[in-house]
Amino acid sequence: MGYFYIDLVVRERASKNVRALVETGSAYIVLDPKTISEIGLLETPFNVELTLADKRRVRAKLYLAEVEAEGRRGPAFVAELDVPTPILGTYSLETLGLKPNPVTGKLEVIGPEGGYLLRIEEVLATFEELMDEGGCVGYGEPKKNTGEANT
């Protein structure tokens, strides 16, 4: 199987067009720290362990972005890693309803785009609600129960 690149738009506080390697062995979009800073991506409290092609394991911060490829938009996690080339991984491909065709070197539509499911603002609002209502496992302390009914 060969490899190919696609034009990817990454958005948050700013928008940037990047030429990304389509990599089905990667889960996330991977961008270097400078690009993440230029776009102003939203940092999540999550870190992930990534296994590189040479079998080394590294930890990476995760960020939230809105991405667009082939005219399809959706939310995506972006891993921060010092890479020479941006990478488009499978989670984002699936969110966008796309799959790579190694014969043509193009992305093909396989289902509905995931952009209609979540918007960045909705993801953050949901995360903040979870934190307010009791926290997420390992992230923050739950609010104390005052015994009053929720209204």
Whichever domain contains 92, its CATH number is 2.40.70.10
Q: What domain range is 57 assigned to?
A: 5-116
Banded pLDDT at 119 (limits 50, 70, 90): low
Residue 54 lies in a domain: yes
- Residues whose CB falls within 8 Å of the CB of residue 139, separated by 6 or more in sequence, listed in order: 45, 131
Residue with tokens 């999550």: 46
pLDDT one-digit tens code per residue, 50-74: 998 899 999 999 999 999 999 999 9
Q: How many CB atoms lie within 10 A of CB 57?
A: 8
Residue 39 lies in a domain: yes
With pLDDT > 90 as the criterion, what percentage of the chain qualifies? Answer: 65
Residue 139 lies in a domain: no
Kindly report the pTM of this predicted structure.
0.74
**How many domains in the chain?**
1
Type and span of the H or E element at 125 = helix 120-133
